[in-house]
Structure 1
């Protein structure tokens, strides 16, 4: 991904991408690229579309919708999405569980673990 595309993400979603994730996107690992863009999102339009889609979706039993400070960065293969928090300095990737309508703390990964999981 190019710097201009990251700026487009930030502008369209009104979110600040953490520096550590910007560096990841700028140096995206080739082994994570696939035809379907499943797993880790690597194009600006998919990050934007998936974040907007997550923000628009809310089930009745959820206490609140997908928080505005989250950015969708991947898909878990089911109906939940991986996300990062805009102010997070810890390099954590969270799973926003569609069944709970919230982040599942037991599924939190470091960026390295997230990359490793999708490199297999």
Structure 2
């Protein structure tokens, strides 16, 4: 397994642990479809949360959160729709970003974007 994938998995576990400590419940990890992948799917009370985990050793080329650009948001939206087709819910949904930098400093961006931000919605 490539080193970048190992680091990615470690950071996803770190994010999962962080969110669990903040009382979110894990539903699924690494939901993949042809169009994209959702790192973590969790439940925050009565809300289904699709979580994107981003890591950067340094912010020299931008912060981890800045890497979730419009294109990445569209891929996450498509992957979330794929998940919802297979696992229908009446719960409201949101997209969160866990940005991890440097010495595992975590920034949790709740409701980072929404399905309505997607022009194809």
- TM-score, normalised to structure 2, is 0.28
- TM-score, normalised to structure 1, is 0.28
- Structure ranking higher in helix proportion: 1
- Structure ranking higher in strand proportion: 2
